[in-house]
Structure 1
Amino acid sequence: MNTAAHSSVFGAVHLGHVVIETERFADWRRFGTDAIGMHRDELDTGLMRFRLDEQECRFLLQRGPAEDVVATGWHVDDHAAFEQIEARVRARGVPVVEGTAEQAALRGVERLLRFPGPKGITQELCTTPLTSREPLRMLASGWVTGDSGMGHVAITSARPTLMHGYFHTVFDARLTDYIDETISGVKLKIRFLRVNERHHSIAIAAVRGLPIDPVRTRVQHLNIQAARLDDLARSYQRVHELGFEMALSVGQHTNDKELSYYARTPSGFEWEVGWNPIVIDETTWEPSTHRGISTWGHTPVGGSIIAKLDQFRTGARSLTRREKTVPALSGTGVPDD
């Protein structure tokens, strides 16, 4: 096997884009543009993109029934690292498909490879993101992307060790820390993984002691980072004024110290707008466990007994179906945590 495939790509990988499948374009248009405050580009009746910065695409919305995230895109700094990751995936017998020219153009990248990921979320490997000449038209003053990538993805899983192993194998993801939390009597353990200086690009939440997944959607939430505290506060106000559901009020997390709130998207998963998380210093950082998700705030907003019962029903149904994993990419180098 090629030795290059084993050299670390940590730091060269960044969350670059997310693909969402939805039929609720009108609601997403209001949510993304008027509430959250991102730049929107309409491509045709079945395609829409949101921008956060100079890159052509950060969120691609395509028409379909899933009402969920269907792919996450990882921008890789150079062709050498891109080919290292490709070699790892191919060497383990996992099918890799080269994206079409149209798919690459929609995502605003030059090179695009697609391969299976946990929970059926396609992983997309990209290089050389394209920039737009069109000035940003958005309500926010800006969003933090750059070397940290554009935010993070949080996923619930009944197979957290396999999921951790997947991102370690493919991207050399490192464990940043854990959070233990009890919500409505259910004990959760959350693993936070980083692929660069951002505290985490992937969060994996699991119910301790029970192989259930309490969330309908493949992702529990997506996160983007506001450039200024004022951007966070104003978007929070707009979400309320426009009538979108708020999941959690403003609060501060125990581990990354990010100030944030969580709104519910038109597709049902949550959307976290955050501000000012810590940046990891690789020379000094050691993983630890935090008790509780938040030092203050992040209190549930609204909700009902019916909604809680639906969540328990979802968890019960998850016992009857096996979570999608990619065993060939999920088994090495990770302690059984």
Structure 2
Amino acid sequence: MSGFERPDVFGDVHLGYVVIETQKFAEWRRFGADAIGLHVDDVDNSSMRFRLDDHESRFLLQNGPAEDVVATGWEVDSHETFDEILRRAAERGLPAVEGSAEDAQLRGVERLWRLPGPKGIGQELFTRAVTTESPLSMLSSGFVTGEAGMGHVAITSREPETLHAYYGTLFDARLSDWIDEAISGVKLKIRFLRLNERHHSVAVANVRTVKIDPIRTRVQHLNIQAATLEDMVGSYERVKATGFDMALSVGQHTNDRELSYYAMTPSGFEWEVGWNPIVVTPELEATWEPTTYQGISIWGHTPVGQTVVDKLAQFKNAVRNGRAPEITVPELSGAAR
């Protein structure tokens, strides 16, 4: 290897867990267990965990006022890749801090390090998840995790290029495609970034022509993938039956062909449960070319229960968010290599 060649870490990084700060534990318990159908474990008086599989923790809920996602945890396949990512951060002056043993235990992981992330979402790296043989108590038969990670995170941004550069520089993210969408007269551009065989682990949306962010929360939605169509439809019916608000009805996306719906979480961001998205296999990867799609859905995904009050709230959020600069990571805001 010459001095100019760098190892490519694409395929070695997977979404492993999400940390949510909330004070609405009772509502989140109902949402996670009774509506979505996840396994719930109480850790202590100030934290609760959701499981999807044999990992001890996939969602860590901790007591705090944010009502938002505060960190995403990325599983790294090897210590060599882990060191390469930390080297990239150090080379660009991005501070990395080792997590405490207590924090690692809460997250059910080994070798935990933290990096500052876009929009104030902490980026946490770990090399191995702690697994458990404790049986799952879920209303769903299962969820798709494995080599594709556990799902994806979608973020709205006034500075989408900086997010693209961030994930491109650290994780060698590849652009899957774009979607152009018009919602209530607002034109959106959404870019979809893949880190492995999952069509996208990060989606970044921005309002075209003007720098506004209509979303109060740091994330717009989280996604998990149901194992079967029956699981996805069953959770949709439970969300309605338990009285949680639905954001978008069942529909199919244009780009990754995933069937899904979007529910409103107790903290105010959306939660997508999907089924059967495209997997970017090595054969597809070899010839993949980014495409621009018009509209997010082939069919369905109809807005549910939106009112004039909801639209006014979004406008107020956009105005408020526009008064302060968006949190970016200057060290990684340039073009991705």
Same fold (TM over 0.5): yes
The answer as to 2:77 corresponding to 1:77 is yes
Q: What is the letter of the counterpart of residue 65 of structure 1? A: P
Gaps of at least 5 residues in structure 1 are: none
Give the 3 Å change call, closer, same or farther, for CA 35–162 of structure 1 in structure 2: same
Q: CA deviation digits over 1:87-144, x for unaligned, max 9?
A: 1111111111100000001111111000100000000001111101211110100000
Q: How does 1:1-337 map to 2 (within 5 A)?
A: 6-280=6-280, 281-333=284-336
Amino acid at match of 1:13: V
Deviates more, 1:61-70 or 1:133-142: 133-142
Unmatched segments (≥5 aa) in structure 2: none
Question: 8 Å contact 1:5–1:87 — kept in the other structure?
Answer: no
Equivalent position amino acid for 1:151 in 2 = G
Cα distance in structure 1, aligned partners of 2:320 and 2:184: 19
Checking the alignment, whether the CA contact within 8 Å between 1:177 and 1:289 is kept in structure 2 is yes
Q: Tell me the distance in 1 between the aligned counterparts of 2:58 and 2:8.
A: 26
8 Å CA contact 2:76, 2:125 repeated in 1: yes
Structure 1 CA distance for aligned equivalents of residues 3 and 216 of structure 2: 40
Whether the aligned pair in 1 keeps the contact of 2:260 and 2:272 (CA below 8 Å) is yes
Deviation at 1:332, TM superposition (A): 2.4
State the shift of 1:238 in Å: 0.4
Per-residue deviation, 1:6: 3.0
State how far apart, in whole Å, the 2-side matches of 1:101 and 1:316 are.
41
User: What are the Cα deviations for residues 272-315 of structure 1, in whole angstroms up to 9, with x where unaligned?
Assistant: 00000001121121100000000000000002101100101111
Partner amino acid, structure 2, of 1:240: K
Cα drift, residue 5 of structure 1 = 9.0
Amino acid aligned to 2:103 = Q
Change (3 A) 1:4 1:201: farther
**CA–CA distance in 2 between the matches of 1:192 and 1:138?**
30
1:53-75 Cα shifts (integer Å, max 9, x gaps) = 11111000000000000000000
Counterpart amino acid of residue 189 in structure 1? K
SS in 1 for 2:285: coil
Does the 8 Å CA contact 1:73/1:123 hold for their aligned counterparts? yes
| 1:110–1:311 Cα change, 3 Å | same
| Deviation string, structure 1 residues 195-243 (Cα, Å, up to 9, x no partner) | 0000000000000011110100000000000000000011000000000
Q: SS at the partner of 1:6?
A: coil
1:4 CA displacement: 9.5
Q: What secondary structure sits across from 2:82 in the alignment?
A: helix
Task: Measure the CA separation in 2 of the matches of 1:105 and 1:83.
Answer: 21
Distance in structure 1 (CA, Å) of the matches to 2:6 and 2:69: 30
Instruction: State the 1:46 CA deviation.
Output: 0.7
Let me know the Cα RMSD of the aligned residues. 1.2
The size of the alignment, in residue pairs, is 333
User: Which runs of 4 or more aligned residues in structure 1 lie more than 6 Å from their structure 2 counterparts after TM superposition?
Assistant: none
Letter of the 2:139 counterpart? L
Output the TM-score relative to the length of structure 1: 0.97
Kept in 1: contact 2:247–2:263 (CA 8 A) = yes
**SS at structure 1 position matched to 2:74:** strand
What is the CA–CA distance in structure 2 between the aligned matches of 1:135 and 1:3, rounded to whole Å?
Answer: 49
**3-state SS of 1:70 partner:** strand
Query: Which whole-Å deviations, capped at 9, do the CAs of 1:30-68 have from their partners, x for residues lacking one?
Result: 000110001111011110000111111100000000000
Shift in alpha-carbon separation, 1:240–1:298, aligned structure 2, 3 A: same
8 Å CA contact 2:166–2:336 kept in 1: the answer is no
Query: Partner letter of residue 39 of structure 1?
Result: H
- Counterpart of 1:202, as a letter, is V
